Amino acid sequence: MTYVVGENCIKCKYTDCVDVCPVDCFHEGPNFLVIDPEECIDCTLCEPECPANAIFADDELPADQAAFLALNEELSREWPVINESKDAPDDADDWDGVEGKLQYLER
């Protein structure tokens, strides 16, 4: 099993989850984080740290977010590892909970 970053992370990109990850499995893109499923050890530490509730166990991933499993895998191969938290974007709170954010994902 692995954990998956879902749609609500797009344009929020809080990095609280990064600080607790013992294996540095998070990768950072311009406005989204992903989890490398090959590195994730299913420790569960990241999920409760996400202020946007955007992290799910793969077997609890909502049906409308199923595509994010493959997206995390794909982008984790392209984006660099992030292992220290950073400030969230200034408008992160405005984007938290907005639906249909996949169109805003920057690669």
* DSSP-derived secondary structure for 42-70: ----SGGG-TT--EEEGGG--GGGTHHHH
**What is the per-residue pLDDT across 4-36, written as a single tens digit (0 to 9) for each?**
999 999 999 999 999 999 999 999 999 999 999
* Predicted model pTM: 0.97
Q: What share of the chain has pLDDT > 90, as a percent?
A: 99
Distance CA(95)–CA(47), nearest Å, equals 19
> How many other C-beta atoms are found inside a 10 Å radius of the C-beta of residue 97?
11
Distance CA(90)–CA(87), nearest Å, equals 8
Structural domains of the chain sorted by starting position, each given as residue range(s) with its CATH number in brackets: 3-84 (3.30.70.20)
| Under 8 Å between Cβ of 34 and 72 | yes
